[in-house]
Structure 1
Amino acid sequence: MFKSLGPSTSAFPTPAWVIVTYDQNERANAMTAAWGGIVNSSPPSVAVAVQPSRYTYDNILAKREFTVCIPSEEYAKETDYFGIESGRETDKIAAAGLTAERAEKVNAPYIKEFPMHLECKLTDRMNLGTHFVLIGQIVDVKADEAILDHKDSIEIQKLKPMVYSPTDRSYYKVGDEIGKAFSIGKEIKDKNQKE
């Protein structure tokens, strides 16, 4: 039997991403974001939800460029810190002992120690209530060679990304592969076609 829990943000999994921007003085700032995901294939685009009271929101609107950094699980404390401290008065990246580097294709920084980042240009925004959804066109994806396979594909087991659980407000590791997408369902499709 199902029990109604009412409207909430209980969707699984949500990412543990870090959005990195420059402010008007070209000072790097980082913010943790869990409400986000890929939203278009061509052009490749990502959406992140940011409250307008956040320093990152002002930075993205001013610069119209940002990076989405994917931290590995070893940076759980730093990732969480970026979500509980304000960048208005604090250099959060330095305080976390990490390094901001200028991205190659956009006027935004990324965090050098994180194994992957998306370089994005703001293309749209939508007010949904407490948050604005910001759409960024992905102009480049950068990945540490250590997380790539022989075909230059990112291996999730090497990346070791974290996911966020909105119900218990905790971070979790990604588990084992259970099957190949666009493949494991073929058994059901083939069975139905034979009937």
Structure 2
Amino acid sequence: MAEIIVDCKDKAGKEIYTKIIQTSLEDLVLGKSILEVRMVIREDEPYFIIGVLPKKTTKLIRLRDFANIEGTKKVDGITIYKIKIEDETYLPYLLEKINIIEQPSRFEVVTDSPIDLDMVVYDSKKDFVAKVLDFMNRVFPEGMRIRKTFYGKAIVSIASEKPFEEEWLNEALKLKEELENTKIIGF
């Protein structure tokens, strides 16, 4: 499970938000993918900052990971590829990237798009970032409708019910820098 640090002047608030963070990480099955979560709560201002340092999670899925080129032929100077699908998990992402001439079965696709077994079909980082943002939305109080997120090796988001003050944004950027400079490097 991720290390959770909550900076809050109110002891009860600190305990409640620590529990909310733990529960949200568990609900989204993120606990093992995140090294550290830091939350800064300034209810008197009011603004909230959440910083997340993820483990390195980027996994590129290439065509070769789930399919093979079963055959090729030239038609009017265009190469036609017959692709055999071995695992359907990533097929929808492939179908978004190519022109489908024919799909005789769920395990076969015929295309005239250029095909390379090393082509990246899916990047898990996109889904992971969406899950992290969902996590942050679950933790922030409902009234905090103004939000800004900073991306890098760490993901830091600030939320308030009124326009941000420069000092608050600087605190969020400082947290991002601190997380990114920890000895364990995220993604």
TM interval, short-chain normalised: under 0.3
TM-score by length of 2: 0.25
Decide which structure has greater helix share.
2
TM-score (norm 1): 0.25
